[in-house]
Amino acid sequence: MSLVNVLLGSFFRLGLIDYEKALRLQNKLVQARMEGMIEDVLLLLQHPPVITIGKSGKIENIFASSTFLQEKGIKIIYTDRGGDVTFHGPGQLIIYPIFNLRRLGLSVPDYVWKLEEVIIRLLSHLGIKGERIAKWRGVWVKGEKIASLGIHLSRWISKHGVALNVHTNLDYFDLINPCGTGRRATSIAKILGREFSIEEVESLAIEFFKEVFNIELKAEPLYKLEPYFETNLVTSETT
């Protein structure tokens, strides 16, 4: 990648992080990005089992009862991303870009296309043909959804992002109508018949973000998030 006109940013590998704590982190980083205190940031992580409902979500797209979900320890969280209902859980790579779209020269459709393109190129590297479906956001493999997408913008600063099923337990998706599409979910592990580590797929995602967004992302230690994050989470859950 040529460094001519390449913008600079950083990335953090956060490990397994509670959804609500990760959202609070995003909100603080968005504010810092608006104020010019930080450059663009890419967060890579996983969530414990949780069902989230976006701004256009419908509760009827959750098939399981609240009692069942409570017994299984699965929260339902209403959130401010776009989209409908989705599931997050271990084995799923979550990517949250805190990017200034104006700095990157991107419209919202351009940004969404590039997020999908990162996943499509990553899958192609693994020998999987990922596709777009015109009326639905995300990335698909033979009609099954492998990556969900939902974003939120505040003064052109992005949060939320992409969830890619690496070796996720796909049984969880039977509890919902994923993104209201009526389509089944799939994963890299299911398609290829073997597991890839989250760390391996994270590394690929970072490289393809650099390529697609023409941005140079530098690895940063977690302590640099301490002004924006609960210190005990950075020092314990992500070690």
The strand ranges marked E within 62-206 are 75-78, 85-88, 92-98, 131-133, 136-141, 144-154, 157-165
Which token pair is 29?
């980083």
Exactly one of 50, 106, 163, 179 is catalytic; which is it? Answer: 179
**Contact at 8 Å (CB) between 160 and 166?**
no
Which token pair is 221?
């230690």
Count of beta carbons in the 10 Å neighbourhood of residue 114: 18
- Is residue 235 among the annotated active site residues? no
Instruction: Name the maximum alpha-carbon separation found in the chain.
Output: 56
Count of beta carbons in the 10 Å neighbourhood of residue 223: 11
Q: Cα separation of 112 and 152, whole Å?
A: 11
Q: Cα separation of 211 and 223, whole Å?
A: 27
Beta partners for residue 79, in sequence order: none
Q: Cα separation of 47 and 167, whole Å?
A: 13
Instruction: Return the active site residues.
Output: 179
